[in-house]
Amino acid sequence: MTLSRLAVLCALLLLPTVRVSAQAETVPFSWDQATIYHLITDRFSNGTRDNDSAYGRGLDGNGSPYDVDSTGHFLGGDFQGLKGWVEDGYFSDLGVNALLISAPFEQVHGWIGGGFGEFQRYGYDGSWPLDYTETDLAYGTKLEFEALMGAAHAAGLKVLIDVNINGVGLATLNDMAAFDFGGITSDEWRGWRPASKSGWQSYNDRLVTITDSTESWSKWWGPEWIRADVPGYEPCGEPVQTHCADQLPDLREDVVATKLPSFLKLKWGDEKTTVESADLDAFFKRTGYQRSATNHIIKWLTDWVRSYGIDGFVLNHPESVSPESIQRLKEQATRALADWKAAQGMEGAPDAPFWFAGNVSDHGLEKSEFFKSGFDSIFNYGFTGDLQKPIDLQFATYAESINKDASFHVSSFLSSSATGLYGRSGLQNGDSDLPNGGPDLTGGGSGLPNGQDLKDAATRLLLSPGAVVIYYGDESGRPLGRLGVDELERTKSNMNWAHFDEDLVRHWQKIGSFRAAHPAVARGGHDKLSDAPYTFYRGVRQGLDTDEVIVVMGANGKTRVNVSIVWPDDTVLRDAYTGNVAIVSFGQATFTADASGLILIEEVR
């Protein structure tokens, strides 16, 4: 146990006890009731310092350290660190039943100039893949990933990974030198530093050439694999399916890849290349798929499911991929999870199927064409806008749209790396996004959270029908990263273990635990019972049982609630927010509301 984790756990123990209903332990898992915790592995928790400089990251080509940049460098988060929090029950205490983590495979080793050149940007967030067959050693080894998966499953947590099948990692100086491709003009790159603090992109003009370098660039992925604006390759296009999303080289679906990329064969060596080639031959023989680059990636991604029991994918930029490729990815991933379960002796056991969600920019609460591609859910970018609507209208609309149509589902969220951190505003000198969680002595600043805004938004999110996604640090008031860089990069600051908001965490825990214990919250029908204070009912039938709750918002002091629609006289009820108990008398139950104004009413069983 690291010192920082011990300190946080001690702080939580000093807070009033959250009573997690025993009923939560018996509720069968359903993706329709998912509470997903979305984190960037590198930014969450550092379990061991031994892997912090994997592949020489943070060092130049001569082995001399760059100045640490809290925005674009790898900061040390890894599988071991995450596993510790799983085992300590941090996620279970939040009512979380699924983790969404960074893609675990190996990322490009080097950096590019981030933003407008003001920082070095490595592939720390798992979105710049280099080799889909290996873990990134900055996160940990395959054995450590397997241990993380085992710990998560033992804790009742499903594990999802962020993936894409439309782009690969960028060409960096380190990778060009290590794997003998591209147009490096000299060894000057090894010790190069920009002349100005905003000059990290200028290496392109000074150290890399695209003139008369077709042969050297062919030793990268190759023109049958990707579109890229380098010699000998089809350039990035304007149509969405040939566009280089996020400026990443675009994987090709339209041509046969007749050979493996030269740099991968060099990296793997003869023995592994032979094994991988045989596995690919068997895959394409079994499936009958065209040997396109995209279908190679589908094979490699689903190998992770078959090997480790990954429970689902969140596919980024599905608008940039054909519906057929999306369907193939889901089909092969579903098969792979079934194979893993069979190998574990779980074949035929009642358990959740492989879950497949889409991350489509600006998608809201609408049933789009993407659901025809096989998505089980789409991330709901419209949720924060819907918070501006009257509360009962939002709740009722979500319950009607999501819970009465089995072919439609969305996953709502407050914050993301694409939209910003909800409720973060103001400036401070010093932030907590450096590897040790301490002050940023570079003079940067960060957006401070508005605790009440985050509390109110957490209440709305966790009590909303459908699946919900907690972006890491929303529950603890994690501030934005340092000023002076790309605004969306600021959303990926280090988890604020040293300065987390204990009261805010406790609020999320109480409502999250209530949501976990009661399928009615996410899956039930919704009925308003009162305007003042606002009171609503949710109920859902599960087999022979019925789960029912009543929630009061905006209560003040001693509050009498009419519960006769659900419970007869003499029923013992509990407010899950405070733990207070009341007995129904003349159809009424009386509770003293907490300062939050929330009363979460459940039957004591």
Last residue of a domain, one of 520, 539, 557: 520
Residue 310 to residue 354: CA distance in whole angstroms: 8
The model's confidence at residue 543, banded by pLDDT at 50, 70 and 90, is: confident
Residue 368 to residue 378: CA distance in whole angstroms: 9
* pTM of the model as a whole: 0.93
The model's confidence at residue 14, banded by pLDDT at 50, 70 and 90, is: low
pLDDT for the residue 205:
87
State whether residue 553 is helix, strand or coil: strand
pLDDT for the residue 386:
97
Is residue 20 pLDDT above 50, yes or no?
A: no
Beta bridge pairs of residue 38: 100, 471
Whether residues 36 and 90 share a domain: the answer is yes
Q: Where are the alpha helices (DSSP H) in 260-390?
A: 262-287, 293-308, 323-343, 383-386
Which of 27-31, 333-337, 537-541 shows the lowest mean pLDDT across its residues? 27-31
Is residue 15 pLDDT above 70, yes or no?
A: no
Whether residues 496 and 593 share a domain: the answer is no
The model's confidence at residue 348, banded by pLDDT at 50, 70 and 90, is: low
Is residue 119 pLDDT above 70, yes or no?
A: yes
pLDDT for the residue 23:
53
Q: What is the pLDDT of residues 298-331, one digit of tens each?
A: 999 999 999 999 999 999 999 999 999 999 999 9
Task: Say which CATH number the domain at 548 has.
Answer: 2.60.40.1180
- Provide the pairing of β-strand 35-38 with 98-101: parallel
pLDDT for the residue 238:
82
**Residue pair 555/564 in contact by the 8 Å Cβ criterion:** no
Whether residues 411 and 499 share a domain: the answer is yes
Last residue of a domain, one of 472, 492, 520: 520
| Nearest CA-CA partner of 449 in 484, 491, 485 | 491
Is residue 73 pLDDT above 50, yes or no?
A: yes
Q: Mean pLDDT in the chain?
A: 91
Is residue 438 pLDDT above 50, yes or no?
A: no
Is residue 503 pLDDT above 70, yes or no?
A: yes
Q: What is the mean pLDDT of residues 289-301?
A: 98
Contacts of 198 (CB under 8 A, 6+ apart): 116, 117, 118
Residue 238 to residue 519: CA distance in whole angstroms: 45
pLDDT for the residue 12:
61
Domain annotation covers residue 189? no
Q: What is the mean pLDDT of residues 213-241?
A: 91
pLDDT for the residue 9:
62
pLDDT for the residue 244:
86
Residue 491 to residue 78: CA distance in whole angstroms: 19
Is residue 538 pLDDT above 90, yes or no?
A: yes
pLDDT for the residue 160:
98
Whether residues 530 and 508 share a domain: the answer is no
Whether residues 559 and 504 share a domain: the answer is no
Whether residues 514 and 539 share a domain: the answer is no
Q: What is the pLDDT of residues 176-195, one digit of tens each?
A: 999 999 989 989 999 999 98
Whether residues 498 and 566 share a domain: the answer is no
Whether residues 580 and 483 share a domain: the answer is no
Is residue 483 pLDDT above 80, yes or no?
A: yes
| Nearest CA-CA partner of 20 in 433, 421, 518 | 518
Domain annotation covers residue 245? no
Give percent of the chain with pLDDT exceeding 90: 80
Whether residues 440 and 587 share a domain: the answer is no
Whether residues 406 and 538 share a domain: the answer is no
Is residue 435 pLDDT above 70, yes or no?
A: no
Domain that holds residue 309: 3-164+259-520
Whether residues 394 and 290 share a domain: the answer is yes
The model's confidence at residue 569, banded by pLDDT at 50, 70 and 90, is: very high
Q: What is the pLDDT of residues 89-114, one digit of tens each?
A: 999 999 999 999 999 999 999 999 99
Helices (H), strands (E): how many in the chain? 15, 24
pLDDT for the residue 427:
36
Whether residues 502 and 358 share a domain: the answer is yes
Is residue 581 pLDDT above 70, yes or no?
A: yes
Residue 533 to residue 549: CA distance in whole angstroms: 16
* DSSP output for 107-163: EPSS-EEETTTTEEE--TTS-SEEEEEEE-TTT--HHHHHHHHHHHHHTT-EEEEEE
Task: Say which CATH number the domain at 337 has.
Answer: 3.20.20.80
